């Protein structure tokens, strides 16, 4: 099974938040609009982390549906920014290959690939690729057409000139972040991976 | 006054009318905005959901460009602003992270330029009084719900701008145009941000609640300073995209200043604002 102590440490280190201070007042949850569309509320996620229930936290759709509105963080009496905790959990979920909301992850990957190769987001191409790869071709078709007719989806996007530099930035970020958190990657039998 | 300008990707496509109106109005009010050359995408939610270092490095690369240009950086998109401002905050307050970012991006942070939202630039560098002095076509009778959303005011220790629970800056600018900003309690609620494409139903429910609350308060339109909010309010609404329109604040200032190009901004809207403007004799 997962090593629960290393999980708590990893969440704290990635998020910088004082996880142990949460006393379950539920202020975060009561202001969170996305909570009603998910399986667990923000305060529950925090409890799972405190208890070391790694899979329960990581498998939750809440961590992906969090819209980063930061209402939770602005109201928590203990200064815990749940939003940063949600972000940390997403990254741990990715590195453990447990992603509850695959469409959101796919969207993020397509988005970042576009930034890496072109430097800027080209909304029309990105939407088209997302639609193709999810197979969900028709849900927003009339919307796409409307945007196009209003000249809001130009078919040719702008690219930045120095894309080599951009590729270096991406490479460095992924290398450095992987190294920084490698010590938390544990095997299922509890041993370290490296 | 000269400032650097980071439009961001949305303003090149879905929020073109925000870009056009921002540049027209700023220049009419004597604020010169110069786009920083070869800016790159801030990484938005996708970066901070995937790699924390990247979520700071992409904005830091733009701050490096702005630093070279030597002027404070103005950001119209609330989402880009939030990423750039957070990165500026980290560069100023977290030396270990700063060293890391300087290495990744290959620059030296001087801290000599600041990052602000376009709303803040209009509030602090121009001001509602100056706007009201320059108004040639007061937006009299227009009742507005000023909608700030999340990213302009939160987290407050980073933005340091306006009141995070009951912001007033946009209300003040709108009052300067002669319109009537109303009090309502959903000013800083979330619109669903970029989840529209992936979890459309949740976002549709959030948007319809916002529109209902605005209408209940008596608003004839919503006004925003964020391309994500404006887009969600227009296209993620139920009832076939009827109902009250959503403006960018720069469009309404431009209308009040009598800028002729305002018609071309409104033509780009998905929810046609012209019937409302005509009913108030603000458009022909
Ligand atoms: S608001 Fe803070 S202390 Fe209260 S439940 Fe949420 S995280 Fe815990
Ligand atoms: S930031 Fe996320 S968890 Fe916090 S209130 Fe907003 S949606 Fe909920």
- Which pLDDT value is given to residue A194? 36
In sequence order, which residues have a C-beta less than 8 Å from that of residue A63 and are 6 or more positions away? A45, A57, A86, A89, A90, A93, A100
Q: Do A108 and A146 share a domain, yes or no?
A: yes
Decide if B228 contacts B78 (C-beta within 8 A).
yes
- Picking from B161, B145, B164, the residue whose alpha carbon sits closest to that of residue B75 is B161
Contact between B197 and A151 using a beta-carbon 8 Å cutoff? no
Closest-CA residue of B relative to A140 is B197
State pTM to two decimals: 0.91
Of the three residues A56, A79, A99, the one that is the final residue of a domain is: A99
| Residue A172 within a domain | no
Verify whether the Cβ–Cβ distance A172 to B57 is below 8 Å.
yes
Distance, CA of B119 to CA of B127 (rounded, Å): 10
CA nearest to A126, candidates A147, A101, A97, A100: A147
User: B2-118 — its CATH code?
Assistant: 1.20.1050.140
Percent of chain B's residues with pLDDT above 70: 99
CA distance B261 to B265: 7
Please tell me whether residues A58 and A91 are part of one structural domain.
Answer: yes
**Delimiting residues of CATH 1.20.1050.140 domain(s) in chain B:** 2-118
Select from A70, A99, A128 the last residue of a domain. A99
* pLDDT tens figures, B266-284: 999 989 999 999 999 998 8
One domain, residues A14 and A80: yes
Region B128-279: CATH code = 3.40.50.11810
**Helices first, then strands: H and E counts in chain A:** 11, 0
Q: Residue B234 has what pLDDT?
A: 86
Instruction: Check B46 against A170: CB less than 8 A apart.
Output: no
Residues A125 and A83 in one domain: no
pLDDT band, residue B149 (cuts 50/70/90): confident
- Residue B37 near residue B80 (C-beta atoms within 8 A): no
pLDDT of residue A193: 42
Q: Which domain holds residue A87?
A: 4-99
pLDDT (0 to 100) of residue A122: 77
Q: Domains in chain A: how many in total?
A: 2
**A112 CB within 6 A, ligand 1:** no
> CB of B100 within 8 Å of any CB in chain A?
yes
Coil, helix or strand at residue B50:
coil
Instruction: Please report whether residue A189 resides in a domain.
Output: no
C-beta neighbour count of A133 within 10 angstroms = 13
Residue B121 in tokens: 């630039």
Which residue, of A53, A83, A99, is where some domain finishes?
A99
The residues, ordered by sequence, that sit 6+ positions from B42 with a Cβ below 8 Å of its Cβ are B8, B58, B59, B62, B79, B80, B83, B84
pLDDT confidence of B254, banded at 50, 70, 90?
Answer: very high
A35 lines ligand 1 (CB under 6 A): no
Q: What is the ipTM of this complex?
A: 0.89
Does the CB of B69 have a partner CB in chain A at under 8 Å? no
Strands B143-147, B221-224: pairing kind: parallel
How far apart (Å, rounded) are the C-alpha atoms in residues B87 and B163?
21
Are the C-beta atoms of residues B227 and B252 closer than 8 Å to each other? no
pLDDT at residue B173 greater than cutoff 80? yes
Cis upstream peptide for A181 (omega within 30°):
no
Whether residue A190 lies inside any domain: the answer is no
Nearest to B177 by CA among B211, B218, B214, B221: B221
Contact B199, B214 (CB under 8 A): no
Contact present, B259 and A142 (Cβ < 8 Å): no
In sequence order, the β-bridge partners of residue B246 are B222
Q: How far is CA A177 from the centre of its chain?
A: 15
Torsion sign across C-alpha atoms A129, A131, B238, B183: negative
Q: Which of B199, B172, B196 is nearest to B253 (CA)?
A: B172
Cα–Cα–Cα angle for B221, B132, B75, rounded to 5 degrees: 65
User: Which chain B residues are Cβ-neighbours of A147 within 8 angstroms?
Assistant: 14, 235, 270
Q: Does some domain include residue A30?
A: yes
Average pLDDT in chain A? 84
DSSP A96: T
């Amino acid at each position: 099974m997962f090593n629960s102590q290393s999980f708590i440490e990893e969440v704290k280190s990635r998020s910088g938040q004082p996880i142990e201070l949460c006393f379950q007042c539920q202020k975060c949850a009561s202001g969170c609009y996305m909570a009603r569309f998910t399986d667990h509320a923000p305060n529950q996620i925090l409890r799972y982390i405190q208890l070391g229930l790694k899979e329960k936290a990581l498998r939750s759709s809440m961590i992906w549906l969090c819209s980063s509105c930061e209402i939770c963080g602005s109201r928590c009496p203990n200064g815990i920014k749940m939003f940063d905790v949600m972000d940390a959990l997403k990254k741990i979920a990715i590195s453990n290959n447990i992603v509850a909301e695959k469409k959101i992850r796919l969207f993020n990957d397509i988005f970042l690939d576009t930034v890496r190769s072109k430097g800027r987001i080209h909304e029309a191409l990105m939407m088209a690729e997302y639609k193709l790869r999810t197979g969900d071709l028709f849900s927003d078709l009339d919307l796409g057409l409307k945007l196009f007719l209003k000249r809001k989806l130009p078919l040719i996007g702008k690219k930045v000139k120095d894309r080599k530099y951009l590729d270096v930035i991406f490479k460095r970020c992924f290398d450095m972040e992987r190294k920084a958190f490698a010590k938390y990657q544990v095997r299922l039998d509890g041993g370290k991976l490296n | 006054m000269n400032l650097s300008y980071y439009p961001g990707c949305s303003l090149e496509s879905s929020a073109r009318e925000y870009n056009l109106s921002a540049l027209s109005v700023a220049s009419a009010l004597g604020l010169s905005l110069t786009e920083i050359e070869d800016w790159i995408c801030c990484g938005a939610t996708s970066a901070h959901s995937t790699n924390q270092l990247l979520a700071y490095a992409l904005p830091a690369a733009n701050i490096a460009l702005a630093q070279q240009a030597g002027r404070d950086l103005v950001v119209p998109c609330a989402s880009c602003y939030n990423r750039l401002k957070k990165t500026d905050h980290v560069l100023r307050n977290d030396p270990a992270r700063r060293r890391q970012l300087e290495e990744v991006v290959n620059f030296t942070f001087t801290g000599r330029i600041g990052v602000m939202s376009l709303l803040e630039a209009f509030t602090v560098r121009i001001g509602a009084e100056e706007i009201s002095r320059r108004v040639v076509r007061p937006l009299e009778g227009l009742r507005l719900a000023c909608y700030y959303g999340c990213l302009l005011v939160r987290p407050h220790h980073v933005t340091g701008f306006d009141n995070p629970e009951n912001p007033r800056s946009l209300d003040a600018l709108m009052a300067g145009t002669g319109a009537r900003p109303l009090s309502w309690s959903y000013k800083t609620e979330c619109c669903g941000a970029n989840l529209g494409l992936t979890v459309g139903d949740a976002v549709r429910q959030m948007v319809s609640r916002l529109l209902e609350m605005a209408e209940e308060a008596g608003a004839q339109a919503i006004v925003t300073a964020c391309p994500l909010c404006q887009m969600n309010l227009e296209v993620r609404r139920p009832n076939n995209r009827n109902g009250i329109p959503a403006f960018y604040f720069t469009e309404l200032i431009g209308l009040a200043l009598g800028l002729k190009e305002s018609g071309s901004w409104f033509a780009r809207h998905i929810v046609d604002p012209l019937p409302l403007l005509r009913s108030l004799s603000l458009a022909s």
